[in-house]
A = this chain, B = another copy of it.
């Protein structure tokens, strides 16, 4: 009778995790990090769900895809679960990010301190504007500030090779975004975060996630319009 084959066997993460689940893991991870900072040892699915705005059933099902890391009747150990999620998502390694387009938004992203603490390091800035190229931009918030040189667009491939960047951020105007994306891909980047309001077409095997702020406002406006009175 196989009564001794349990938990540890399903921990191997060869299992396919659904896209919907993946999109929620970061929120769980963040909440767990905060709980860990606050020295909390354990948490129930009910509480963690409330913190992250999902139902407890969904939370448990999401987590069950990673393995059986909770204890029935008790809950989850905060630090242990946090570590498991970070391992699953590849957050226990550092990720190098290149930002293309150092305007309003690119600069705000560079200044932002919240990335570093999550294992993302902005390692290169690239722009096409001659007056920007060669200038220095502060990266990261207080504590871990680094000054980065803005490189010329023509050096994009070299910069990526030298810095080993694996994530690319497109923060150029819409007109340039596709060209920039093509060059990022050609230089070996296979994960792109796009802020320009255009659809980027990329070869299979390359992931693009878009952040479209105007769309978000439009979606809000749509619902707002429908609210009576």
Interface residues of A (CB under 8 A from B): 22-23, 25-27, 29-31, 51-53, 88-91, 95, 97, 104-105, 107-109, 111-112, 114-115, 118-120, 166-167, 190-193, 197-199, 201, 205, 207, 209, 211-225, 227
A114 to B225: give the CA distance in the assembly, Å.
Answer: 21
Nearest neighbor of A198 in chain B, beta-carbon distance:
B30
Contact A218 B108 (CB under 8 A): no
A214 touches B120 (CB 8 A): yes
- A89 contact set on B, CB distance < 8 A: 218, 221-222, 225
Taking A51-B199, A90-B224, A91-B221 as known contacts, 7 extra A-B pairs with beta carbons closer than 8 A to each other, sorted by chain A number, are: A26-B215, A30-B197, A30-B198, A89-B221, A112-B213, A115-B214, A209-B216
Distance A221 CA – B22 CA, assembled complex (angstroms): 11
- Inter-subunit contact B199/A90 (CB<8 Å): no
Q: How far is the CB of A77 from chain B (nearest CB, A)?
A: 21
* 23 A-B pairs with C-beta separation under 8 A: A22-B222, A23-B215, A26-B218, A27-B212, A30-B215, A53-B199, A90-B221, A90-B224, A95-B217, A95-B224, A97-B217, A107-B108, A109-B213, A112-B213, A115-B214, A120-B214, A120-B221, A167-B217, A167-B220, A167-B221, A191-B220, A191-B221, A207-B220
